[in-house]
Amino acid sequence: MVARLENEDGKMNIYMNNIPTPPILFALSDFPAAASNTHYAFKNIQNFKSQGINIVSADSDLNVGWHKVSPFDTEAITSEIESVLDANPDAKVLLRLHLNPPYWWLRDNPEECIVYRTEEGDFPGIDDGEQDRLIKNDDKMHLRASIASEKWICEASEKLTLFLEKLKGTRARSGLVAIQLAYGMFGEWHAFGRSIADVSEPMKAHFKEYLKNKYKTKASLRKAWKDEDVDFETAEYHPEKFQPVDDGAFRDPSRSVRVIDSQMSNQTAVTDAILRFARVVKSTDPELLCGTFYGYYLCTADTAVIGAHLNPTPIYESSDIDFICGPFCYMDNRLPDGVPMQRAFLESHRLHGKLWLTEMDQFPLGVEEVSGGTKENFDTNVAVLRVNALQPIFGGHGFWYYDHRLVPSLEIMKKMGAVVADVSSIYRKRGWWDSPEMMNEIGKIQEFAGEFIKRKYTTDADVLIVYDEEAKYYHTVSDSDSVEYKLFSEFATCGVAYDCIYLSDLELCQIKKYKCIIFADCPNIDAKKQTLIDKIRENITCVFLHGFGYSDGKHLSCKASSRACGVEIRRTEANYISSDFFDRVALDSNIAPAFCITDKSAEPLAYFDNGTVAAAKKNNCVYISMNYIPGGLAKRIFRDSGVHIWCDSGDSIIAASGCVLIKCHNSGVRNLKLPGGGEIQIISEGVETRVYEVKTQKRLL
């Protein structure tokens, strides 16, 4: 089986045996009940085959064949692949392979294991013993190999090589098309312990190398750290996220460069490990596709500087990484009336020629009572399924249906004679979409995707949302998940289509197609970034949210922020913001310090309670001393900018390649306004997701 990715028609297309194939998978999870040789796995693999979905993700662990005395054994891993092929001989398998060492290795090598840093002190990992579910205690302070352990990386690489070599010429290899490398918390390359900092000796050694690579000389290090005694051997490693910030919600690089360096080093340890394992895969079996979890930015809460993925450039630049993946956000976006959100910036991945695969693991409502969900929830389940599945497709990417663990409700279990403890069993499973009606809907999505990938890809958004991948080192936002969801949900009420990218990708995108660019969290603007932004704002409306450019990479200052956004600002003391465009908003700890606009040539858009200006527009620049844009103000800005408003009913819009998706959040009549004129009247009876072709106004889903 030969699989390849081709960058063509504006997106990454996947070919299976030279046949273009929608990048849509059915995925089994890590639970024993979801193993590929179980009854429900067999049944659901066949269900998805019946709808044209033949790419299947299976899950296994390198350590099941990694023995202390006996030779490395591949049987347990290859059986996961072969069982998929038993269920569907036409299957193409993506193997999620966990790289964890076995427990005897952890016990034999305590110096290679994580030391967890907490506010109460530093602690070694707890030996929780072998588990039937490998990743069960990943979010606790348990015994795990440091992600910077050279010994673990070398020995795991050796075992990975043995596995790939032994696979050649076998039935399993004939069905295998891709390896997804997995390690870290839940296999997602997050820090173990739910992002508790690792201060083990391997991590400290990595930090020393990081400093040497960054500063080159002791003189440069001492100048940056403002410490005449520090050197590469004595520099203390302090990545812990609970350290206080310097000015409101901001960290000052002139005072906290030690912390910033430590946290950045922590991130490079992750990407270094990923790329070393990816090189093993590609050098051993070049025809295999290789991918990894990475690229999580939104919905990472306060764990980002330790546990998120803030170093995307090496992943993008690596020819050994073909695809990147991760789940969508786990917030209110999952509710029937929620706003669709991805954790990753799909447009950045597309611009870099990497295929993104969303882990779509939202179970249908009522599935705890009956497979596929209860009948009364069917229409809502279809609406949610469509928007969750199609957002990555509209982004030029793909996804997998993650048939994760969900056991029946306690009441149902009791009727079956079970005890309370069985409800959390990892040995019970049913298919989330295991009903003829739900599978029929999945078939419709597959058919649409098959036609969509034939189109030359264009992003039809004219709003761009920009986040700096380094922002979280400089700016600490409490309850950032809620802040991020608030920002996106306010946009949804405006009926606009938008893209999201990293700040570093501004030069890659077709910037002229956007009418409005929102710099959502970009506190650190150096001279190079400034030059680019100055050029952009000459012709495009740029909206700068609270704290934009408050750091120039060296200091925090209002002068730096004023220069960065083109509007003069200063600090102020205030309690709330009010405007003709939105109801009064109370300030919280995230809007600290508060900045008011003092530029007399700027048009006020909102005021603080002390009478100073809280939001204003000057030429193409809008500064808002908030971390989101209230819907009323956003509509004003979008209309002034010439942004196309698809609808004014508060519904979510996604547009690409001449197609538009609308998620109706409630019943009623709305008019979908098309670019260039014309409109489509929609009469919705409730939560529903529809797709239209813009040119013909034909409904496609």
Q: Lowest-pLDDT range, 38-52, 90-104, 368-382, 595-609?
A: 368-382
Q: Is residue 316 part of a domain?
A: yes
Mean pLDDT, range 217-241, rounded to an integer: 95
Q: Lowest-pLDDT range, 127-136, 171-180, 466-475?
A: 127-136
Residue 420 pLDDT more than 50? Answer: no
How confident is residue 517, by pLDDT bands cut at 50, 70 and 90? very high
Q: Is residue 688 part of a domain?
A: yes
Domain end position, chosen among 452, 473, 492: 452
Domain co-membership, 484 together with 562: yes
Residue 257 pLDDT more than 60? Answer: yes
Residue 544 pLDDT more than 90? Answer: yes
Q: How does pLDDT run across 569-590, given as a tens digit for each residue?
A: 999 999 999 999 999 999 999 9
Q: How does pLDDT run across 51-63, given as a tens digit for each residue?
A: 999 999 999 999 9
**Are 687 and 337 within 8 A, CB to CB?**
yes
Phi, psi of 654 (to 5 degrees): -135, 130
- What's 532's domain CATH number? 3.40.50.880
Mean pLDDT, range 123-129, rounded to an integer: 92
Residue 331 pLDDT more than 90? Answer: no
pLDDT of amino acid 417 = 52
SS (H, E, C) 313-359: HHHHHCCCCCEEEEECCCCHHHCCCCCCCCCCCHHHHHHCCCEEEEE
Domain co-membership, 623 together with 685: no
**Are 311 and 267 within 8 A, CB to CB?**
yes
DSSP, collapsed to helix, strand or coil, labels residue 70 as coil
Q: Is residue 418 part of a domain?
A: yes
Residue 661, domain extent: 652-693
| Torsion from C-alpha of 62, 63, 69, 73, nearest 10 degrees | -40
**Are 457 and 449 within 8 A, CB to CB?**
no
How confident is residue 411, by pLDDT bands cut at 50, 70 and 90? low
Residue 415 pLDDT more than 90? Answer: no
Domain co-membership, 275 together with 344: yes
How confident is residue 624, by pLDDT bands cut at 50, 70 and 90? very high
The separation between the first and the last C-alpha atoms of the chain, rounded to the nearest angstrom, is: 32
Spell out the residues 6+ positions from residue 283 whose beta carbon is closer than 8 angstroms to its own. none
How confident is residue 300, by pLDDT bands cut at 50, 70 and 90? confident
**Quick one: tokens of 31?**
């639970």
pLDDT of amino acid 407 = 57
Q: Is residue 121 part of a domain?
A: no
One-letter amino acid identity for 106? L
Q: Is residue 155 part of a domain?
A: yes
Residue 122 pLDDT more than 50? Answer: yes
Domain co-membership, 523 together with 413: no
Domain co-membership, 383 together with 431: yes
In 348-478, which ranges are E strands?
355-360, 398-403, 463-467
Task: Give the DSSP H/E element, type plus range, for residue 162.
Answer: helix 150-167
Domain co-membership, 147 together with 19: yes
Higher pLDDT, 334 or 685: 685
Higher pLDDT, 374 or 369: 374
In 546-651, which ranges are E strands?
569-572, 576-578, 585-586, 594-597, 603-608, 613-618, 621-624
d(CA 376, CA 359) in angstroms, rounded, equals 26
Domain co-membership, 366 together with 485: no
How confident is residue 412, by pLDDT bands cut at 50, 70 and 90? low
Mean pLDDT, range 304-315, rounded to an integer: 92
Angle at 321 between CA 353 and CA 264, to 5 degrees: 95
Mean pLDDT, range 159-179, rounded to an integer: 97
Phi, psi of 467 (to 5 degrees): -125, 140
**Domain count along the chain:** 3
Q: Which residues pair with 624 in a beta bridge?
A: 545, 615
Q: How does pLDDT run across 335-355, given as a tens digit for each residue?
A: 888 899 999 999 999 999 999
* Percentage above 70 pLDDT, the chain: 97
Q: Is residue 662 part of a domain?
A: yes
Q: How does pLDDT run across 260-283, given as a tens digit for each residue?
A: 999 999 999 999 999 999 999 999
Q: How does pLDDT run across 596-622, given as a tens digit for each residue?
A: 999 999 999 999 999 999 999 999 999
Give the count of beta carbons closer than 10 Å to the beta carbon of residue 594. Answer: 21
pLDDT of amino acid 408 = 53
pLDDT of amino acid 330 = 85
Spell out the residues 6+ positions from residue 528 whose beta carbon is closer than 8 angstroms to its own. none
Which whole-number Å values give the CA distances from 269 to 184, 189, 265, 513, in the listed order?
12, 10, 6, 37
**Quick one: tokens of 184?**
């870290």
**Are 440 and 433 within 8 A, CB to CB?**
no
d(CA 673, CA 643) in angstroms, rounded, equals 12
Domain co-membership, 513 together with 426: no
Q: What share of the chain is helix, strand, coil (3-state, %, to 5)?
A: 35, 25, 40
DSSP code of 622?
E
Domain co-membership, 542 together with 446: no
As a whole number, the mean pLDDT across the chain is 93
How remote is the C-alpha of 357 from its chain's centroid?
Answer: 10
pLDDT of amino acid 515 = 97
Residue 221 pLDDT more than 70? Answer: yes
**Are 697 and 674 within 8 A, CB to CB?**
yes
Q: How does pLDDT run across 33-76, given as a tens digit for each residue?
A: 889 999 989 999 999 999 999 999 999 999 999 999 999 999 99
Q: Which of 68, 30, 72, 24 is nearest to 48 (CA)?
A: 24
DSSP code of 680?
E
Domain co-membership, 632 together with 656: no
Domain end position, chosen among 399, 426, 452: 452
Q: Is residue 249 part of a domain?
A: no
Domain co-membership, 66 together with 180: yes
d(CA 71, CA 441) in angstroms, rounded, equals 47
Residue that the structure tokens 């403890």 belong to: 421
Q: Is the dihedral of CA 13, 14, 16, 20 positive or negative?
A: negative
Domain end position, chosen among 401, 421, 452: 452
Residue 422 pLDDT more than 60? Answer: no
Q: Is residue 207 part of a domain?
A: no
Domain co-membership, 678 together with 632: no
- What's 313's domain CATH number? 3.20.20.80
pLDDT of amino acid 245 = 93
The model's pTM: 0.95
How confident is residue 409, by pLDDT bands cut at 50, 70 and 90? low
d(CA 218, CA 224) in angstroms, rounded, equals 10
> What is the β-pairing status of strands 3-8 and 659-664?
unpaired
